[in-house]
Amino acid sequence: MIKAVIRNKEFIFCHPATTSRGTLLKKHVFFIILYDTDNPLRRGIGECSMFPGLSMDDVDNFEKKLSDIVNMINKGWFNFKTPLREWPSINFAIETALLDLKGGGQRILYPSEFTNGKDTILINGLVWMGSKEEMLKQIDEKISQGFHCLKLKIGAINFDDEYTLIQGIRLKFQSEVLEIRVDANGAFYPKEAIEKLKRLSDLDLHSIEQPILPSQIDDMAKLCKISPLPIALDEELIGKYPLENKRRLLQIIKPQFIVLKPGLLGGIASCEEWITIANEMNIGWWVTSSLETNIGLNAIAQWTYTLNNPMHQGLSTGLLFENNINSPLALIGEKLYYFPRKKWDNLFD
Q: Active-site positions?
A: 153, 261
Query: 220 and 232 in contact (C-beta within 8 Å)?
Result: no
Residue 324: exposure state from Cβ atoms within 10 A (0-12, 13-18, ≥19): buried
Residues 214, 238 contacting (CB under 8 angstroms):
yes
Q: How far apart are CA 348 and CA 41, in angstroms?
A: 10
Sheet (strand 335-338) strand order = 121-122, 335-338, 329-332
Reference 45, options 259, 307, 276, 296; nearest CA is 296
H-type helices in the chain, by residue range?
62-75, 88-102, 132-144, 159-172, 190-201, 217-226, 243-253, 262-265, 268-280, 294-306
Q: What are phi and psi of 58, to 5 degrees?
A: -85, 75
DSSP 107: S
334 and 145 in contact (C-beta within 8 Å)?
Answer: yes
| Nearest alpha-carbon partner for 255 in 281, 280, 284, 224 | 224
Q: What gap in Å lies between CA 201 and CA 290, rounded to an integer?
A: 26
Sequence-separated (6 or more) residues with CB below 8 Å from residue 287: 259, 260, 261, 262, 271, 300, 303, 304, 307, 309, 313, 314, 315
- If we measure between CA atoms, which residue out of 137, 207, 139 comes closest to residue 179? 207
Q: What is the DSSP letter of 157?
A: S
